[in-house]
Chain A
């Protein structure tokens, strides 16, 4: 069956949505909101997107896209180049191998999975950064950030589900 040019463009645009949400969240997470203390503990929105799409649509988010998202995050936030790319690829790798456990189960199973995997991600992030800067980085803000990220995951997942529904429609 032949599809028209417009249809193909439409499909193409829909398939770009997961990558677009990830890149958009990179920018959004850097915007100064003026909430007291927010900048110190701003949740890792992009990490949530990486996890969600790795579990539900890994076909639309190949590792190269995840890698580029990580690089973008490093550039915008001024982290050492490649650091977040490593973290995102690690989360993506674990999430894609475990996705069968989350797919047909209720949402809180996926949430539990996210808690475990993101804890590993924050731990890796903290270790790499400490080694990179050869200094002991006080882990309290890392923990606060982890807590906030985990707590906000359902809200963001709700948003991703909307995008996801738009994709398959």
Chain B
């Protein structure tokens, strides 16, 4: 009984968001989620339905809020790094990278060439892994169930690569302020190369599975149409925006980590619908493969982390014979390093769009404030506008096409 009352108060509070027809009972209120597979996590949607047509859709987020930004303030810059992995759990490397770029900008740390190339390779492998999860889950939402298993099989190979370099499949914390945790093992380039040789044929298969599937086409073409100006006004970024024909990619607009040295195309589609967003991501797979191949060629021997001992630990071998190294090692892992009083904002292109980090230092070893501009949070806003007039079944396709990760929304 008490639960019923609780739901009633929620509806009362949200009355201004429904149409007047909801009060008379002419339209139906339906609760979708938070425990529903098609919401890609714990997203709750309050739907007002006229038959099967969506009249209004109110996203309710926060079920996965874990206070990561608050927790980071209580830790040193370095110790807070591991929390970024856990934000967007399909873009762990990208989160590390964004946060490290912010620290490097705040403290003016130089990153060696090899580390930059390694970062690009990791970020692009992560993009492929994330897009594979997206492809599998968004297809299974539309009942193309076999593709999920194929995609997870291929993603597993990327997880193995991350385990090879970072010792962990997902929460690698491999990218560190000033460079990367350690150099990649000698077999890494060959392992990546073999994965890149394996993937394109598989992608062709998956594309054929969906592109020749009349049900998939019927459920994606002309569904969830948002034109470029609307998409920008609602804060959409990434593949979802490029599916509406807007040429914006942070890697191209504000290159970071040496992306200006790579040749790649920014895929654009003008369909503005769910199918266009699918096409963009399918083409991004190929661009990522191109970037990684170039990265492997650019990978020259050299230092993998900055030699500034204030921001990077000394090599293990020096600890036995250098007193300075011991002091640096001790100070680095206990006190951390101080950052100047000021604010920086850096952005990277995550698989879902612009992932930004607003980092404020206060002169001490802890951040004053870490704020993440997460693509899922900003893109999800559009859903209430975008889903109007479509059927509930289309809503599921639309949620899949904007590719949200609830860990990224709620942090």
B is a partner of A = no
